[in-house]
Amino acid sequence: MIDYTATVTVRLKEGVLDPEAETTRQALERLGFELQALRSAEQFEIDLAADDESAAFERAEEMTERLLANPTIHDYEVDIEKR
């Protein structure tokens, strides 16, 4: 078994109301920053052991689909790194 870290980034899909991002965008604009859009995201780092990178990816993706993200409203990315 090899040790991996899976980094899972979960964000709301385009078009889904994101009040946290909207409040932050407004605050940044009041501070003089110009931006076209802002989206918030959550990031999870999962340390796990697996036979190979593919197996680690599959386990992290299953965790994400079963608990970390709601596929109806979220997009997500899974990145795997060997520790």
pLDDT of 49: 97
Residue pLDDT, tens place only, 51-61: 999 999 999 99
Cα separation of 67 and 5, whole Å? 18
> Which CATH architecture fits 2-82?
2-Layer Sandwich (3.30)
Q: What are phi and psi of 39, to 5 degrees?
A: -125, 140
Which residues face 77 on adjacent strands? Answer: 9
Q: Report the percent of the chain where pLDDT is more than 70.
A: 100
pLDDT in tens, 16-44: 999 999 999 999 999 999 999 899 999 99
Unique residue bearing structure tokens 């990315």? 77
